[in-house]
Amino acid sequence: MSLSVENLSINFGGLRAVDRVSFAIEPGRIHGLIGPNGAGKTTVFNCVTGFYRPTGGRIRFLEHDITNFRPDQVAKLGIARTFQNVQLFASLSVLDNVLVARHGHMRTGVFAEGLRLPFVRAQERAAADRARTLLEFLGLAHLARQPAASLPLGFQKRLELARALALEPKLLLLDEPASGLNISETQALGDVLLRIREKFALTVLLVEHDMGLVMNVTETITVLNFGRKIAEGTPAEVQNDPEVVKAYLGETANAVRA
């Protein structure tokens, strides 16, 4: 398995935000994690990426137990994420936002950088080439010199994807990437996610409220409600699960089928 979450629990004071949740993702799959607001989805993300320390349970990524890893340790192993609220370096250019993420792959030190040694310059050129390739792939190359803050939301979301991909992850966690997008932008995002998975051989864990997007791109879905897993299966199985319909989908299930 690429990612395995086993009996994950976390308390905040007297509140159990996640209660013995388990799921596993096979390599190269797009796995959905859905549920009502407050169901614990982003909390699971924060546990996987090291922002929260679980109260109980285990998280394994490939052959590593990462339950108590720090965010930087998790990132070095090959896990990257995006956020529901876009978190870019607003004053930096589009290109520089991606280059920031490439810095961790450069094998230089302060002394070498200060002297501008040839191998440092070569690594900088390689990083810039890689960043431009990612921008081209995501349709942002023509905006490389624009400040990130000047981009419309749909392009900002793509830039955040480019920055995450610059880390060369094996697992990509996407927290509501379609939030704030219109229908055409969301459809385009679905195509982008499928192309990303194919081109970079990535495993993806997707938290999303747009059920059209979830049903179109995921192979397996885990459903949370009040911090507990209430269902898991293929999109068709989840869409027709009475408990899921009652807790979350409601009329959305009929809308998606239509």
The predicted pLDDT at position 80 comes to: 94
Q: Quick one: pLDDT at residue 14? A: 85
pLDDT of residue 24 exceeding 90, the answer is yes
pLDDT tens digit sequence for 165-219: 999 999 999 999 999 999 999 999 999 999 999 999 899 999 999 999 999 999 9
Higher pLDDT, 103 or 37: 37
Per residue in 218-253, is it b (16+ CB within 10 Å) or e — as a string? Answer: bebbbbbbebebbbbeebeebbebeebbebbbeebb
* Backbone angles phi and psi of 21, in degrees to 5: -85, 135
Least confident stretch, 34-43, 65-74, 84-93, 161-170: 84-93
Distance CA 255, CA 179 (A): 19
Q: Is the pLDDT of residue 257 over 80?
A: no
How many Å apart are CA 27 and CA 2, to the nearest integer?
5
What residue has token string 């905006």? 143
Mean pLDDT of 236-255: 76
Of 11-20, 73-82, 103-112, 204-213, the least confident: 103-112
- Kindly report the pTM of this predicted structure: 0.86
The chain-wide mean pLDDT, for the chain, equals 88
Of all helices (H) and strands (E), which one includes residue 9?
strand 3-12
pLDDT band for position 10 (50/70/90)?
A: very high
User: Does position 45 have pLDDT exceeding 90, yes or no?
Assistant: yes
Q: Which fold would CATH assign to domain 3-257?
A: Rossmann fold (3.40.50)
Distance of CA 66 to the CA centre of its chain: 17
- Amino acid at the residue 133: T
* CB contact at 8 A, 21 and 188: no
Q: Where are the domains of the chain?
A: 3-257
Q: Does the pLDDT of residue 118 top 70, yes or no?
A: no
